[in-house]
Each structure stands twice: as structure tokens, then as C-alpha cells.
């Protein structure tokens, strides 16, 4: 009962898996005990045997897969779209209707149908059907005579069949046609996008080597017990639950619902007073604090009080090398050496001697990752020492205390009135303006202090 | 006398030549056998090692995720509604990416068009026609000042976004990445200066945007690589990729080494995405399942599947807290999974063709889905029965 696609040479891998699964569903539907109850369905004045109604199909799917009716309708629609079930009423429209419309299971191949149609109603083929017909003719020229003979035979036989059977056959074939050669403007369900032909497993020895190497490494790795790891996910999701607008909403309102951008304005990169949720988030992890521009600024203020701000400046400069242009690496490494590592440097950082030696050695041949070890050392120093103390400091506690908790915007009294959706300046625009201003300042001869733009 | 000796030596010479020929023949046959044996033994060795690895992984598998998640509160009924429909592409939309400003986005389609939208106002801000079709990948730069896109042209290009309406953006396009097959995915790293790409040629690569120089290439996949995602980790050094070889590989960006590999899907992996903490990632595959992999335990810890879900999943993304996984499928629907409990929270209909990409906005307020029906939809959800949480404290 597999679909015979004439267009593609072979069935796409992904589609094969889908077809097999759909066939399983169809087979289950046709099961004599647990399957669908087929009966005679009325179509105008004709009675069609072994058919089922759209309503029945949906009910069966809902029961069998324990899903909602909406989802059954969706799944049933897919079965119709791919031709496993075809409609007897309105055969040109491959849609599942959740009513008394009759449907049947599909069986027949395409070619014979086309030939029959052509023979029977010369000139009644639609334009796109005619094209396909002639194409097919060209393709299977040598077997054409056989096909035509078959078609004639079937027509002869069908004239003697009851009207019900004829209607059924026509609908079957019509459905098949619609799927394999959809009329212009209709989705082609057999369209699978780009081919993915590449497979390099012919290089067997190379692959085996890779696998063996990878396996050996993997065997040696440290693994953590599942119970510990999985608890980690629970904790994370719980911690961030209040911060997840899709789960818990957001204050004062979700801009996409209310058309009010207050939420975004309040949480802009730099604001006079941050929101409470935002300041709380800084306490979740050191990375959260550093990733937030305001958080980083606050932390810098704290470090300056502690006379260890050079650590953060150093870390920022290292980040700049790692993520910056290749062409600027050498000059940036030199700057870092001058400012942070050289004896007597203005912002000398305290790195252990082993790392310092290794870094100084590496600077002789600077590359993108030459500062990595030193950067890691300083990062973990800040994380283990300065960060926990910052969270206990008055600076942080005051920030938390005066942080805003926005009031929930009550839903509009007039729900049909839509707020005007204000546009915002594009980041590209602000960047251009900033660059222009900087250019003007430079032009005027003003001293622009070299510093990191964080 | 001399002639006799000559004749006898020529005879010996002939004999020696014959023996040599036979020896060479025998040797080559012997070596052939050797290499066939080597192949066989290699295969056997790799199979044995794989089994051993599975055993090792299972040793620390003392509990399943859904068991641990039993004590977590059940999600209250989730309802998702579409709030924006972005129309403008003439053909299948293949990819999209949010801008860090939480409202703008870039999308690319089969007809070669790349559009930058302000999704909030539905305003189209830029439209760039590319000379190639099937622009499979697009990304917004962290600064918001540029976009990257690539596809069937085997390249990934960076286009700076200018606000001068008279400027022809397509002319300012700069080729950065060059692959030997289609580009399936691209992403900027922490800055505008570096670009990571995945390709149908089976490799991933890291590029310097300014010079177009290849900084690092990543080999290990044995078929097309279809997707990649950067890890949100402190050290920012790793990324994961998934491909047609059904494998998901984790890479070290510095060394180019493959540090972890997972092979449990039964068909092509279309999309990989990190869990927000960086300790795990999810994958969406043509085998109609999404799976969740724990990086510290080094194994698959959950499979999100249902009998009624028959069609392949092409894309996935987490909500901000990681509790929900949104996955787009080839049957035009978006299924939303409870990551911890492994159940399906809800299903979202609306698209009229395959869903090619789903992405949650940077602040988690909305979900964008791109589809072959040539539209993008921005949806948002609400939990029926949840109240807004007011944080205790001074107001």
C-alpha cells in the first residue's frame, strides 16, 4: 500500500520513516477488532459501502492516541493530505471534515488513472494534467501501449460496475493525482526541501579510527552521577521560574499582549533604577552579574572600593582579545602587558607565578588564546572571593532595596482599543550616532580617553 | 667457456626474476589480506569500545529525569496565542534570529530574500535580495549592527545594517565563510567579529569576520551538519552540532577537538539547542522525537515523543527558565514539552506548512516561529490559573 511517487527518483529518507508511521496508523484503523467500524455511507442518492465518516475518523483517533479533538483533526488531515484516506464528497479538496462526509482508504497507482481519464474524456484534462500526461508519455514511451491497453480494459470493466464503485474509483484516483501533482498554488506535501545526499561513511577506516579515538577519550572522562546532575536542572528551572515570562508573565505587562513597551523601557541596558527581578538575578551566578551591563558596573564600583578593580579591567581586556578582530590581537596583547602584567604596571594583577611565567612566555608569540590561563585564574578569583562578598555588601543590599517592582497593568477597560505601537531606534542607528559623536569629539581635538567600551 | 657461463647465468637470472615476481604477487596478496583483516579488527574494536562506553555511562545512571521530577509541581494549563503574523516573504521562510533588543529579527527564505523586521510594529526595516536561493541560515550580530546569512551559495556573508535608505545593502555584503557545500547554520560568537558556521560538507568552522580568515575547523561528522549552537558557559569555549549522521557532537572552539559525542537518534538531527544553564542540550530529529542530553552525566536523559506525533521535528528552543521546550514539526504544528516531566504541555496550530524554525525572544517574552507557509508568527503564552508573583519587600 505504499505511495508510488513518479517525480522523485527514490523516496527521501525522512519521508520513508513518515510513510511507515502513517501506514501503521492506517493498518491500526483497519484492524478488524480495534479498528474503525466501516459501514455504508450515503452520498446524495448513492450508497457507498465500506466507508467511514469524517466524524468517525476523528473519534477513533481521539480515543486511540488519547489526544484532543483538535489534534485528531490535525492528524486526520495529514492522512488525507498524503492520500492514505480520500474524500468521496468534493474529491478535489483533500481536507478532513469533522462531519458526516464519507471517506475511504486509498489503494491505486497513478499512471493508469491518467490514461483512463484521457481516453474517457478527451480534452477534459486540466491544463497541468495535460502537461504531465505528455511528459509521462515521453518518459514511459515503450510501455505506453501496455498502459493504454490496461486503461481501456478497466474502462470497459468499469462501465459494467455499479455506479457506487465508479464514484469510489474516481475519487480514489483524483486524490492520488492531487497529491502527486498538486495544482499550482497548492502545497506539495511531497516537497521535502533540499536533498541531503552527502554521506562520507565510505571512508571506513578513517571513520573507525575517529570512533576508536573518540571512544577511548570518552571512557577516560569524568562523569557525574545522574541524581546530582538532574537535581541541577530542577534547581535551575525553579530558580528562574519567576523570570520566565512564558511561564509566569511579566510586569508591568508583556509588551506583545498589551502593546505597551514599558517592560522593555524599565529593563533597558542602563536605567536609573533597575527592577527587583533584575537585581535578584545578579545573585544567581557570577555569569549573570557580568552579563548584565548594569550589574557589571555595580560590581566594578564595589571592586574599586576594595582596591581590586584591576581584576575586572584585566578580565574585560582579555575578553576583548578573545572575541575581537584577528588584526588587533598583537597590539591588544601588548597593551595588556603594559597595563596589567609588566612589573610596576599601573593595574598590576596578582597571578600565581606559574601562570605568569607561562603567559609571559606566550606573549612572545601572541595569539588569540594567549591570555586564557591568566584570564581563567582571575575570573575564578573574582568568582570565589569578590563576588560572594559583593552579594553580602551594603552596596548590593541597597540596590536590591530600592529596586522597582512594577505594578501590574490592569487589562484595558476597552479591550478593542489598541495602543499605538511605538517604534524604537534601531541598534544600528544608535551605533552610527555614537560613532558620529565620537568622530566630532575627536575632530574638535578633545582628548578621548582610551578605555574599554563596556 | 665464457659463453657457457653467460648462458647459465642468464638462465639463473630468468629463474630469479620468476621467483621475484611470484614473491611480489604473494606479498601483495598477503598485504591485501592484512588490510582486510585490519579493517575487520578496527570495526570490531570500535564496536567493543562503544559497548564499553555505554556500560560506563550507565554505571552512574542511578535515577531517571522524570522520577526526579515527580516532586516538581505540575504545569498549570498552558495556552499559547499568536499575536503577530509577519507577511512579506514570497516563499518558504527557512531561518530566523532575534536581535538582542528583543523586538527586531532577521529572517531568510527560499527565494533568496533576507528581511530585517521590527516585529513589534510589523515594520520591515531592511530587505536584502541575495543572488542565491535557499538561504538556510541567518543570524543577527550581538551589537545589532549587522546580519549574517548563507545557504546554497556555500558561503556565509556579513551585511552591515545601514539606515541610509539610499544605500544598497546587497552591495556592502562581505563573504566571510567559504565551504565546499551548502551552509546550514551560522551564529556570531560573543562579538560581531567572529562567525561560526555549519555546512553540508560535514564540517563546522570558525571565521574572523574582518579578514575572512579561517580560525578553526571542526571535523568529525560523517555526513551533512545541519545545526549548531554556542554554549552559554562561563568560559564560552564550546558549541554543539548535529547532523545527518544522527550524531550530536560537542566541540572545543580553541583546539578544534570533539570533546563529547551522542548517538541515540534514529534519523537526521535537524536542530540542537543548549539548555540555558549550559549543562545540557536538546535535539530535534526526523525520527519525530526530541531528546535531552546531560553533559555532565554524559548521556541522553529524556526522549520527548508521542504515538500521535508522526512527522519529524525540525527545530527546537527552550523557554527562559528551561522548563519548556518548544519544537516545530513537519506536520505544521508546534509541540510544547515539559522538559522535566517529559510530558507534552500543549500543541500550537496555525501554520499552513512546515515549521522551519522556532526561537524564544532574548528576554523570554515571546516565541517566534518561521514556516514554509512564508510567514513568521510571534506567539505568547499564558498559564490559565497562575497569578503574577509579587516579590515581597519594599515597594
Q: Which residue has the higher pLDDT, B184 or A155?
A: B184
Question: What are residue B378's DSSP bridge partners?
Answer: B84, B368
Q: Are strands B313-318 and B324-329 parallel, antiparallel or unpaired?
A: antiparallel
DSSP per-residue string spanning A194-226: S----B-TT-HHHHHHHHHHHHHHHHTS----H
Task: Establish if A397 touches chain B: CB-CB under 8 angstroms.
Answer: no
The beta-carbon neighbor of A257 closest among B215, B333, B380 is B380
Contact between residue B296 and residue A231 where contact means Cβ atoms under 8 Å apart: no
What's the confidence (pLDDT) of residue A435? 67
**Is B191 an 8 Å CB contact of chain A?**
yes
Q: Which residue of B has its CA nearest to A202?
A: B222
Spatial distance between the Cα atoms of B33 and B43, rounded to a whole number of angstroms: 15
What is the grid cell recorded at B47? Answer: 564496536
- In this prediction, residues B122-127 reach a mean pLDDT of 93
Q: How many CB atoms lie within 10 A of CB A328?
A: 14
User: What is the spatial distance between Cα B190 and Cα B193, in angstroms, rounded to a whole number?
Assistant: 8
Cα separation, B316 vs B325, whole angstroms: 7
To the nearest whole angstrom, how far is the Cα of A55 from the nearest Cα of chain B?
18
What's residue A171's pLDDT?
Answer: 81
CB atoms B311 and A18 under 8 Å: yes
In residues, how long is chain A? 454
SS3 A128: helix
Q: Does B322 touch chain A (CB under 8 A)?
A: yes
Mean pLDDT, residues A297-321 taken together: 95
> Is the pLDDT at A447 greater than 70, yes or no?
no
Cβ of residue B215 closer than 8 Å to a chain A Cβ: yes
> For chain B, how many residues are written?
395
Residue A186 forms contact with B (CB below 8 Å) = no
Closest CA to A418 of B121, B222, B264: B121
Q: Is the Cβ–Cβ distance between A267 and A251 less than 8 Å?
A: no
Lowest mean pLDDT among A137-141, A275-279, B110-114: A137-141
More confident residue, B388 or B41: B41
Average pLDDT over residues B141-152: 95
Q: Can you tell me the distance from the alpha carbon of B350 to that of A102, in angstroms, rounded to the nearest whole number?
A: 26
Asked whether the beta carbons of residue A248 and residue B383 sit closer than 8 angstroms, the reply is yes
Bigger pLDDT: A374 vs A134:
A374
pLDDT at res. A452: 34
Which residue has 550524531 as its cell numbers? B247
Q: Is B181 on the interface with A (CB under 8 A)?
A: yes
CA B161 to chain A, closest CA, distance in angstroms equals 6
Whether B296 has its CB under 8 Å from any CB of chain A: the answer is yes
- Name every chain B residue with its beta carbon within 8 A of the beta carbon of A434: none
Mean pLDDT, residues A216-244: 89
The answer, yes or no, to whether residue B279 has pLDDT greater than 50, is yes
The set of residues, in sequence order, having a beta carbon less than 8 Å from that of A1 and lying 6+ positions away, is A23, A26, A106, A107
B21 CA: distance to closest CA in chain A (Å):
30
Min Cα distance A331 → chain B (Å) is: 16
B202 closest CB neighbour out of A17, A187, A198: A198
The label of the residue with cell 481536507 reads: A95
* B59 — pLDDT class (breaks 50, 70, 90): confident
Residue A194 contacts B where some CB pair is shorter than 8 Å: yes
- Examine the pLDDT at A292 and tell me if it is beyond 90: yes
Task: Give the ipTM of the model, two decimals please.
Answer: 0.84
B338's grid cell: 515539559
**pLDDT of the residue at B53:** 84
Average pLDDT, chain A: 80
Q: Where are the alpha helices (DSSP H) in A241-292?
A: 245-248, 255-258, 262-266, 276-281, 286-291
Say whether pLDDT at A221 is over 90. no
Angle between helices A163-180 and A141-160 (to 10 degrees): 150
Instruction: Residue B213: list chain A partners with CB under 8 A.
Output: 326
Of the ranges A100-114, A155-169, B344-358, which one carries the lowest mean pLDDT score? A100-114
- Which cell numbers in the block locate residue B283? 535535539
Rounded to the nearest integer, the mean pLDDT of chain B is 88
What's residue A102's pLDDT?
86
List the single range of A18-32, B149-163, B168-182, B345-359 with lowest mean pLDDT.
Answer: A18-32
Question: From the candidates A256, A291, A368, A383, which should be mutated to test the interface with B, based on the most B CB atoms within 10 A?
Answer: A256
Q: Is the sign of the CA dihedral A367, A369, A373, A375 positive or negative?
A: positive
Contacts of B364 in chain A (CB under 8 A): 243-246
pLDDT of residue B87: 95
A139-170 per-position pLDDT tens digit: 656 566 666 776 777 777 666 567 777 777 78
Question: Could you tell me if B343 lies within 8 Å of chain A, comparing CB atoms?
Answer: no
Higher pLDDT, A128 or B318: B318
Cα distance between residue B86 and residue B72, in whole Å: 37
More confidently predicted of B52 and A453? B52
Q: Residue A144's pLDDT is what? A: 65
What confidence score (pLDDT) does residue B329 get?
96
pLDDT of residue B390: 29
pLDDT band at B4 (very low <50, low <70, confident <90, very high): very low
Number of Cβ within 10 Å of residue B332's Cβ equals 22
**pLDDT reading at A184 higher than 80:** no
pLDDT at A9 over 80: no
Residue A236 sits at the chain B interface (C-beta within 8 Å): yes
How far apart are the C-alpha atoms of A28 and A10, rounded to whole Å?
Answer: 27
Using an 8 Å CB-CB cutoff, list chain B residues near A212.
42, 45-46, 49
The residues, ordered by sequence, that sit 6+ positions from B277 with a Cβ below 8 Å of its Cβ are: A232, A233, A236, B232, B322
> Scanning every residue of chain A, which has its alpha carbon at the shortest distance from the alpha carbon of B367?
A246
Q: Is the pLDDT of residue A1 over 50?
A: no
Task: Flag if A216 and B144 touch (Cβ within 8 Å).
Answer: no
Contact A214 B234 (CB under 8 A): no
pLDDT: which is higher, A158 or A323: A323
Q: Is A202 on the interface with B (CB under 8 A)?
A: no
Q: Does A264 touch chain B (CB under 8 A)?
A: yes
The answer to whether A319 contacts chain B (CB < 8 Å) is: yes
pTM of the model: 0.83
Average pLDDT on B219-243 reads: 91
- Cβ of residue A256 closer than 8 Å to a chain B Cβ: yes
The predicted structure's pLDDT at residue B7: 45
pLDDT at position B111 over 80: yes
Residue located via cell numbers 523601557? A265
User: What's the pLDDT score for residue A113?
Assistant: 55
Name B234's Cβ contacts closer than 8 Å, sequence gap at least 6.
A286, A287, A379, A383
Identify the weakest region by mean pLDDT among A7-11, A258-262, A283-287, A310-314: A7-11
Q: Please state, for a pLDDT cut of 90, what percent of chain B lies above it.
A: 69
Residues from chain A contacting residue B328 (CB–CB below 8 Å): none
> A188-196: which pairs have CB atoms within 8 A and are 24 or more residues apart?
A189/A81, A189/A82, A190/A5, A190/A7, A190/A8, A190/A15, A192/A12, A192/A14, A192/A15, A193/B92, A194/B134, A194/B136, A194/B152, A194/B182, A195/A12, A196/A13, A196/B200, A196/B223, A196/B224, A196/B226, A196/B244, A196/B268
| B56 has pLDDT over 90 | no
Q: Check CB contact under 8 Å for A208 and B83.
A: no
| Interface list for A 63-122 with B (CB within 8 A) | 65, 67-68, 70-71, 74-75, 78
Q: What is the mean pLDDT of residues B321-335?
A: 96
CA geometry: angle A74, A77, A81, nearest 5 deg: 140
Ranges A153-162, A342-351, B250-259: which has the least confidence:
A153-162
For residue A237, the chain B residues in CB contact (below 8 A) are 72, 321-323, 339-340
Asked if A14 and A21 touch (Cβ cutoff 8 Å), the reply is no
Question: Which residues from chain A sit within 8 angstroms of residue B360, using beta carbons?
Answer: 246
Q: Which of residues 339-378 of A touch B (CB under 8 A)?
A: 368-369, 372, 376
Which of B224, B390, B393 is opposite residue A198, by nearest beta carbon?
Answer: B224
Residues A255, B365: Cα–Cα separation, whole Å: 8
Residue B303 and residue B285 in contact, taking contact as beta carbons nearer than 8 Å: no
* Residue B107 and residue B147 in contact, taking contact as beta carbons nearer than 8 Å: no
Average confidence (pLDDT) over B217-230:
95
Structure confidence at residue B388 as a pLDDT band (50, 70, 90): very low
Is residue B177 within 8 Å of residue B207, measured between CB atoms?
yes
The values of phi and psi at residue A350, to 5°, are: -90, 95
A263: contact with B, CB 8 A cutoff: yes
Q: Do A256 and B57 touch (CB under 8 A)?
A: no
* CB contact residues (below 8 A), chain B span 98-127, against chain A: 99-104, 118, 120-121, 123, 125
- CA distances A217 to A212, B112, B260, Å, are 9, 43, 9
Which residues in A lie closer than 8 A to residue B275 (C-beta atoms)?
233, 236
Give the pLDDT score at A21: 87
Q: Which of A152-161, A323-332, A365-374, B228-237 has the lowest mean pLDDT?
A: A152-161
Q: B17: distance to nearest CA of chain A, Å?
A: 35
Mean pLDDT of B125-152: 94
Question: Using a CB-CB distance cutoff of 8 angstroms, which residues of chain A are in contact with residue B216?
Answer: none
- Find which of A6-15, A75-84, A437-446 is predicted with most confidence, using mean pLDDT: A75-84
Residue B68, min C-alpha distance to chain A (Å): 7
The predicted structure's pLDDT at residue A278: 95
Give the model's pLDDT for residue A413.
Answer: 47
pLDDT at site A109: 43
- β-pairing, B78-87 vs B375-383, is antiparallel
Q: How far is A215 from A221, CA to CA, in rounded Å?
A: 10
Bond before A344 cis per omega within 30 degrees: no
- 3-class SS at A44? coil
How far is the alpha carbon of A190 from chain B, nearest alpha carbon, in Å? 11
Provide mean pLDDT across the span A383-406. 94
Classify the C-alpha dihedral A181-B327-B308-A77 as positive or negative: negative
Q: Which residue has the higher pLDDT, B386 or B131?
A: B131
B321 vs A242: CA distance, rounded Å: 8
pLDDT reported for residue B49: 85
Residues 6+ apart with CB under 8 A from B185: B136, B137, B197, B198, B225, B226, B227, B228
The answer to whether B131 touches B113, Cβ cutoff 8 Å, is no
Q: What is the pLDDT of residue B255?
A: 92
CA distance B115 to B88: 8
Q: Say which range, A15-29, A261-275, B214-228, has the weakest mean pLDDT.
A: A15-29
Position with higher pLDDT, B59 vs A276: A276
What is the band of A172 on the pLDDT scale with cuts at 50, 70, 90?
A: confident
Mean pLDDT, rounded, for B260-264 = 94
H-state helical runs in A282-381: 286-291, 293-306, 309-323, 329-336, 353-363, 372-381
- The values of phi and psi at residue B210, to 5°, are -60, -45
Which pLDDT score is estimated for B14? Answer: 76
- How many angstroms separate the CA atoms of B266 and A13, rounded? 11
Nearest Cβ partner of B208 from A215, A231, A325? A325
Relative to beta strand B78-87, strand A102-105 is unpaired
Chain A residue numbers touching B182 (CB-CB < 8 A): 194
Three-state DSSP class for B177? Answer: strand
Residue of B49, B363, B395 lying closest to A216 (CB–CB): B49
User: Residue A141's pLDDT is what?
Assistant: 60
- Residues B334-345 have a mean pLDDT of 95
Q: Give residue A3's pLDDT.
A: 30
pLDDT at B253: 94
Identify any residues that bridge with B271 across adjacent strands, giving them in sequence order: B284
- Per DSSP, the residues of B297-328 read TTEEEEEE--TT--SPEEEEEE-TTSSEEEEE
Q: Give phi and psi for B177, each to the nearest 5.
A: -100, 140
**For a pLDDT cut of 70, what percent of chain B falls above it?**
90
Which residues in B lie closer than 8 A to residue A216 (C-beta atoms)? 49
Residue B335: is its pLDDT beyond 50? yes
Range in A79-93, B83-97, B332-346 the model is least confident about = A79-93
Residue B313 has pLDDT above 70, yes or no: yes
Residues 6+ apart with CB under 8 A from B138: B95, B96, B97, B106, B107, B108, B114, B147, B148, B149, B150, B186
Peptide bond into A329 cis (omega under 30): no
Percent of chain A topping pLDDT 70: 76
Amino acid at each position: 500500500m505504499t505511495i508510488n511517487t513518479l517525480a522523485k527518483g527514490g523516496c527521501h529518507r525522512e519521508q520513508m520513516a513518515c510513510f511507515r508511521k502513517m501506514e501503521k496508523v492506517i493498518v491500526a484503523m483497519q484492524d478488524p477488532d480495534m479498528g474503525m467500524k466501516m459501514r455504508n455511507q450515503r452520498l446524495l442518492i448513492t450508497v457507498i459501502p465500506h466507508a467511514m465518516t469524517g466524524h468517525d475518523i476523528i473519534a477513533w483517533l481521539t480515543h486511540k492516541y488519547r489526544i484532543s479533538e483538535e489534534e485528531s483533526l490535525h492528524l486526520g488531515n495529514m492522512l488525507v493530505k498524503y492520500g492514505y484516506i480520500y474524500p468521496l464528497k468534493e474529491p478535489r479538496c483533500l481536507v478532513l471534515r469533522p462531519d458526516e462526509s464519507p471517506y475511504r482508504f486509498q489503494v491505486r497507482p497513478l499512471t493508469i488513472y491518467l490514461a483512463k481519464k484521457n481516453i474517457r474524456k478527451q480534452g477534459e484534462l486540466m491544463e497541468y494534467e495535460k502537461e504531465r500526461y505528455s511528459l509521462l508519455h515521453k518518459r514511459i514511451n515503450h510501455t505506453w501501449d501496455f498502459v493504454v491497453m490496461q486503461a481501456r480494459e478497466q474502462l470497459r470493466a468499469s462501465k459494467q460496475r455499479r455506479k457506487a464503485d465508479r464514484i469510489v474509483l474516481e475519487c480514489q484516483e483524483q486524490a492520488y493525482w492531487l497529491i502527486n501533482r498538486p495544482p499550482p498554488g497548492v502545497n506539495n506535501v511531497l516537497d521535502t526541501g533540499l536533498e541531503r545526499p552527502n554521506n562520507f561513511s565510505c571512508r571506513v577506516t578513517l571513520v573507525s579510527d575517529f570512533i576508536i579515538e573518540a571512544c577511548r577519550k570518552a571512557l577516560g572522562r569524568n562523569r557525574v552521577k545522574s541524581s546530582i546532575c538532574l537535581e541541577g536542572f530542577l534547581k535551575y528551572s525553579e530558580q528562574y521560574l519567576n523570570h520566565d515570562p512564558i511561564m509566569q508573565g511579566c510586569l508591568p505587562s508583556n509588551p506583545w499582549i498589551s502593546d505597551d513597551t514599558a517592560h522593555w523601557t524599565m529593563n533597558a541596558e542602563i536605567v536609573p533604577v533597575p527592577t527587583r527581578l533584575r537585581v535578584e538575578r545578579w545573585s544567581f551566578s557570577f555569569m549573570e552579574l557580568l552579563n548584565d551591563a548594569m550589574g557589571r558596573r555595580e560590581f566594578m564600583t564595589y571592586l574599586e572600593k576594595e582596591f581590586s578593580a584591576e581584576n575586572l579591567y584585566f578580565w574585560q581586556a582579555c575578553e576583548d582579545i578573545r572575541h575581537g578582530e584577528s588584526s588587533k590581537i598583537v597590539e591588544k596583547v601588548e597593551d595588556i602587558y603594559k597595563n596589567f602584567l609588566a612589573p610596576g604596571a599601573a593595574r598590576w594583577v596578582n597571578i600565581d607565578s606559574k601562570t605568569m611565567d607561562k603567559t609571559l612566555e606566550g606573549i612572545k608569540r601572541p595569539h588569540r588564546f594567549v591570555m586564557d590561563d591568566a584570564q581563567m585564574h582571575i575570573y575564578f578569583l573574582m568568582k570565589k572571593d569578590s563576588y560572594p562578598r559583593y552579594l553580602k555588601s551594603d552596596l548590593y543590599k541597597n540596590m536590591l532595596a530600592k529596586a522597582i517592582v512594577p505594578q501590574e497593568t490592569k487589562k484595558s477597560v476597552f479591550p478593542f482599543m489598541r495602543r499605538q505601537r511605538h517604534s524604537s531606534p534601531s541598534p544600528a542607528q544608535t551605533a552610527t550616532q555614537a560613532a558620529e559623536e565620537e568622530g566630532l569629539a575627536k575632530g574638535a581635538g578633545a582628548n578621548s580617553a582610551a578605555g574599554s567600551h563596556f | 667457456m665464457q659463453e657457457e657461463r653467460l648462458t647459465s647465468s642468464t638462465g639463473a637470472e630468468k629463474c630469479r626474476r620468476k621467483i621475484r615476481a611470484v614473491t611480489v604477487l604473494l606479498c601483495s596478496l598477503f598485504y591485501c589480506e592484512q588490510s582486510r583483516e585490519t579493517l575487520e579488527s578496527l570495526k570490531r574494536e570500535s564496536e567493543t569500545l562503544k559497548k564499553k562506553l555505554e556500560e560506563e555511562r550507565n554505571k552512574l545512571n542511578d535515577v531517571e529525569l522524570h522520577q526526579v521530577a515527580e516532586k516538581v509541581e505540575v504545569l498549570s494549563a498552558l495556552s499559547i496565542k499568536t499575536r503577530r503574523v509577519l507577511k512579506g516573504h514570497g516563499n518558504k521562510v527557512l531561518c530566523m534570529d532575534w536581535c538582542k533588543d528583543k523586538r527586531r529579527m532577521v529572517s531568510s527564505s527560499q527565494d533568496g530574500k533576507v528581511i530585517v523586521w521590527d516585529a513589534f510594529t510589523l515594520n520591515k526595516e531592511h530587505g536584502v535580495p541575495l543572488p542565491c536561493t535557499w538561504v538556510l541560515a541567518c543570524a543577527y550580530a550581538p551589537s545589532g549592527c549587522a546580519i549574517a546569512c548563507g545557504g546554497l551559495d556555500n558561503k556565509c556573508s556579513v551585511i552591515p545594517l545601514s539606515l541610509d535608505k539610499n544605500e544598497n545593502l546587497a552591495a556592502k555584503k562581505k563573504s566571510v565563510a567559504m565551504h565546499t557545500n551548502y551552509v546550514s547554520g551560522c551564529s556570531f560568537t560573543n562579538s560581531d567579529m567572529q562567525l561560526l558556521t555549519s555546512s553540508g560538507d560535514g564540517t563546522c568552522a570558525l571565521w574572523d569576520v574582518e579578514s575572512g580568515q579561517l580560525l578553526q575547523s571542526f571535523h568529525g561528522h560523517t555526513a551533512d551538519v545541519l545545526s549548531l549552537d554556542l554554549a552559554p558557559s562561563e568560559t564560552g569555549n564550546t558549541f554543539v552540532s548535529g547532523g545527518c549522521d544522527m550524531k550530536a557532537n560537542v566541540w572545543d572552539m580553541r583546539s578544534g577537538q570533539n570533546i563529547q559525542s551522542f548517538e541515540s537518534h534514529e534519523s537526521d538531527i535537524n536542530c540542537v539547542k543548549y539548555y540555558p544553564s549550559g549543562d545540557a542540550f536538546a535535539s530535534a530529529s526526523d525520527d519525530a522525537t526530541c531528546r535531552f542530553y546531560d553533559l555532565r552525566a554524559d548521556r541522553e536523559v529524556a526522549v520527548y515523543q508521542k504515538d500521535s506525533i508522526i512527522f519529524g521535528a525540525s527545530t527546537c528552543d527552550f523557554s527562559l527558565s528551561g522548563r519548556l521546550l518548544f519544537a516545530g514539526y513537519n506536520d505544521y504544528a508546534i509541540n510544547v514539552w515539559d522538559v522535566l516531566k517529559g510530558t507534552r504541555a500543549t500543541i500550537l496550530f496555525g501554520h499552513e506548512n512546515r515549521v522551519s524554525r522556532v526561537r524564544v525572544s532574548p528576554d523570554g517574552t515571546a516565541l517566534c516561529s518561521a514556516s514554509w507557509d512564508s510567514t513568521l508568527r510571534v506567539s505568547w503564552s499564558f498559564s490559565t490559573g497562575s497569578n503574577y508573583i509579587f516579590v515581597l519587600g519594599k515597594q
